[in-house]
Amino acid sequence: GAIIFSGIQPTGVPHLGNYLGALLRWVQLQDATAADKSTQLFYSVVDLHALTSVQATNSASNGAVLRQRRRETLAAMLAIGLDPDRCVLFYQSAVPAHSELMWLLSCTASVGYLSRMTQWKSKLQLKDDASFSDEKARAGLKLGLFSYPVLMAADVLVHRATHVPVGEDQSQHLEFAREVASGFNHVHGQPLLVPPTTLLSPARRIMSLQQPTQKMSKSHADERSRILLTDDDKTVRSKIMAALTDSTNAVTYDLKTRPGVSNLLELLALVEGDNLYRAVTSSNASIEVAAQALATEMEGKTLGVLKKRVAEAVIGRLAGVRDRFADVLELDGGAYLDRVADHGAKQARNNTAETMDAVRTAIGL
């Protein structure tokens, strides 16, 4: 059977980019495989990954902050419809095999490959062609950020994932995971690890509402740049009405010259009813086609009309999520979430045993 694995960092309440790029797909995969018990679904709150960015310096409340964010992320996953009876939902750090396999993979993974990864280079704040030799730039960088993709490879490989649903920004990491798997298999002369297939969301890259040439992100300073799954209707409306577009007051689709308007059209195409999203997902028709069709349909309309339609569509799509989120967080005085996480961790730990036994035997541990 298929094994589906994906992860999300607990860096705050998930945003619309996380939702359309990944979480909605997770729910769809759950629903689509409801009758097929041979498909297993693992969705992890990757708290170890979040350590590369979330922790403040000289702050005694780091522990409390991360614990709260993990809970909020798990609550959001339940609020959008993931079912703990169907999916294994767990905190990454509760399953030590992730870190153990990471070390084992580190001993065959290539530093050269890692240093060419886009995300690392952007954190280095060097130009794409610059080398890893600027002493000053390196001094403040943490080893964990550099080896981040190795932990991510361990996440999927330890569970023998066959399919990994993610947004476009993660596809390079998954290419690396495949490379690590084949490299490891090669060294040990046997097919121990399964190179996973990337399931790229049709949403690919949802852009920031304030800087439409950058992806919507949890770390962006301007809160109006993203819609959180828990934003109330008024907040959603005001963020979308304030979205940065351009001075042409007409609806046309052109990613290069009109990134702001085009992002709104893509959002609308993805959000307006499940059916379109499903159609885009299953027919492989690209989001461009759907967004272009909407632009044609809205020809002659103003940007204000487009924004209102996007806002109402997003509000409709997120209806109920905010209330369920609040309920789930409070359920049983918070104990419900702990139970879900503990149950998931047990199942996840069980699932890692097979991989770890084989890997340790092959290595000689």
Q: Which residues bind ligand TYM (CB under 6 A)?
A: 5-9, 17-18, 21-22, 46, 49, 152, 155-156, 164, 166-167, 169-170, 173, 203, 205-206, 215-216
Residue carrying structure tokens 């614990």: 67
Q: Which residue is nearest to ligand TYM (CB)?
A: 21
Q: How far is the CB of 69 from ligand TYM (least distance, A)?
A: 11
Tell me if residue 127 is catalytic.
no
17 versus 195: smaller Cβ distance to ligand TYM: 17
Could you tell me the CA-to-CA distances from 260 to 100, 144, 252 in Å, in that order?
A: 43, 34, 11
124 versus 206: smaller Cβ distance to ligand TYM: 206
Backbone phi and psi for residue 8, each to the nearest 5 degrees, phi listed first: -140, 140
**Residue 26: Cβ-neighbour burial (10 angstroms; 0-12, 13-18, 19+):** buried
155 versus 231: smaller Cβ distance to ligand TYM: 155
Q: How far is the CB of 20 from ligand TYM (least distance, A)?
A: 6
Q: Which residues contact 68 (CB under 8 A, 6 or more apart)?
A: none
Please give the angle made by the CA atoms of 219, 224 and 227, to the nearest 5 degrees.
80
Cα separation, 319 vs 232, in Å, equals 9
160 versus 173: smaller Cβ distance to ligand TYM: 173
Beta-strand relationship, 3-8 and 40-45? parallel
- Residue of 136, 142, 215, 234 marked active site: 215
- Residue of 136, 218, 256, 301 marked active site: 218
- Residue of 37, 121, 123, 142 marked active site: 123
5 versus 120: smaller Cβ distance to ligand TYM: 5
Q: Which residues contact 245 (CB under 8 A, 6 or more apart)?
A: 212, 258, 260, 261, 264, 303
Residue carrying structure tokens 């070390």: 103
Tell me if residue 218 is catalytic.
yes
Q: Own/partner pairs for 357-361, CB < 8 Å, 24+ apart?
A: 358/192, 359/101, 359/104, 359/192, 359/193
Cα separation, 20 vs 1, in Å, equals 26
Give the gyration radius of the chain's Cα atoms: 21
Q: How far is the CB of 148 from ligand TYM (least distance, A)?
A: 7
Could you tell me the CA-to-CA distances from 213 to 111, 255, 311 in Å, in that order?
A: 30, 9, 20
- Helix residue ranges, H only, 251-302: 259-271, 273-283, 287-297
Backbone phi and psi for residue 25, each to the nearest 5 degrees, phi listed first: -65, -35
87 versus 206: smaller Cβ distance to ligand TYM: 206
At what angle are helices 287-297 and 273-283 packed, to 10 degrees?
140
Q: Which residues contact 66 (CB under 8 A, 6 or more apart)?
A: 10, 47, 50, 51, 54, 55
Tell me if residue 307 is catalytic.
no
- Residues annotated as part of the active site: 123, 215, 218
